[in-house]
Amino acid sequence: MKPAWTAFFGIASLAAASSGCALSPLSTTVDRRVVLISIDGFRPEFYKSADYEAPNLKHLAATGISADAMMTVFPSLTYPSHATLVTGVVPARHGIVANREYSAEKGVGDWFFQASSIKAPTLWDRARAAGKTVAIIHWPGTLGANVDWFVPEVFGPNFDFAEDWALVTKNMKKELLDEILAAYPHPGFKGFSDVDEFTTQAAIRILPTYRPQLALIHFINLDLTQHATGRASPETKAALKTLDEKLGRLLATLDLAKTTVFIVGDHGFMDYDKTINVKRSSKFFTHSEGGQAAIYSRDKKSDLRTYNALRKNARDRYTVLSTANTRPAADAARAARTPEPRRPSRCPESRSLRAA
């Protein structure tokens, strides 16, 4: 008989999970542990639709608590979303407003790897302050985090797998790396599926051996496969099947009677058939990632003029946002996330503000 696993599904922030899609009341046993697993690019179709083969995810959805859809943050990118998952606040407050750093002087910089870039208290900060033990395994934006067991997400500018493996090993404690490799001899990364396998093997070694009271785990290959081949491609279906198998092996090592498992996604995917090119100007500069572009005025006096010009020409091609008009939307989203007590979550339909 399979155990009744408790899980949470959705494209959401932790703030949403705690206010609008919460789990049913659980035992208050002091020995309870929390495992937060993020599947990058995770969508409800993966556990709701017969088109996808994911027996472990579907079993979790059937026996735990699941969501039909969730509303992600804006911008709906990996690093801003993962920072929201561990802070409960929107990107405008925690400071991770893109995947990569950007400035008018230097252009596109490094990814937001460093935990010090997050300008709000994190889950691991609060857990450690409360005397809890923490493991982080390949979670975005955590390099330098003060935790007990750490496997970094870090890579070079060109996604060179040999370079990426060298960076991972450089930023890990040698003792922990040796312990993982003793059980899983690993020649390095040859693809992103290998990255997920190393994540799985690290979790299989750390979680049952040291039993951290909080664990954060991130899987990446499904997201990158969707970017490269499409949201419903045969390759995406195969990547999901492979990930589901990894997830099953990981969950089988946990003491589920004392563990609450959350499985979340950072964003979904939308098909597109056109792109929008923003012209260069001496009055502003832009930083585009995914389906959005941030526009920064060099001269504050031109802010309103630029904003009005963009709105005038938007038609049905894109949506223009500013700090002033995103706050009411965020407040409305929070108000809509009040569930009926002790029932499976039914959260607002997922929406992304992206160029058409």
Average confidence (pLDDT) per 10 residues, the chain, 356 residues: 36 31 43 93 95 96 90 91 96 93 84 97 97 98 97 91 93 96 84 94 97 98 95 97 97 93 93 79 81 81 81 87 59 50 36 29
* Residue that has been written with the tokens 């890579």 in this structure: 155
Among candidates 127, 125, 124, which has minimal Cα distance to 136? 124
Strand order in the sheet with 259-264: 149-151, 134-137, 214-219, 33-39, 259-264
DSSP assignment of 157-224, as one string? TT--HHHHHHHHHHTS-HHHHHHHHHHS-----SSHHHHHHHHHHHHHHHHHHH--SEEEEEE-HHHH
Q: Cα–chain-centroid distance for residue 58?
A: 20
Q: Name the maximum alpha-carbon separation found in the chain.
A: 67
Query: For residue 245, what pLDDT is reported?
Result: 98
CB 97 within 8 Å of CB 91: yes
User: Residue 301 has what DSSP assignment?
Assistant: G
Pull the structure tokens for residue 273. 């058939």
User: Residue 134 has what DSSP assignment?
Assistant: E
Query: For residue 326, what pLDDT is reported?
Result: 54
User: Residue 31 has what DSSP assignment?
Assistant: T
CB 347 within 8 Å of CB 67: yes
User: Residue 265 has what DSSP assignment?
Assistant: B
Query: For residue 258, what pLDDT is reported?
Result: 92
**Using a CB cutoff of 8 Å and minimum separation of 24, what contacts does 92-95 make?**
92/323, 92/326, 93/119, 93/120, 94/118, 94/119, 94/120, 95/119, 95/120
70 vs 101: CA distance, rounded Å = 27
CB 213 within 8 Å of CB 34: yes
264 vs 61: CA distance, rounded Å = 12
Among candidates 22, 35, 42, which has minimal Cα distance to 350? 42
User: Residue 287 has what DSSP assignment?
Assistant: E
Query: For residue 327, what pLDDT is reported?
Result: 52
Task: Give all domains of the chain, ordered by start, each with its CATH number.
Answer: 14-271+327-336 (3.40.720.10)
Q: How far is CA 212 from CA 32, 33, 123, 179, 201, in A?
A: 10, 7, 13, 16, 16
Query: For residue 294, what pLDDT is reported?
Result: 84
DSSP assignment of 101-118, as one string? EEETTTEEEEES-BGGG-
Q: 3-state DSSP: the chain helix, strand, coil percent, rounded to 5?
A: 40, 15, 45
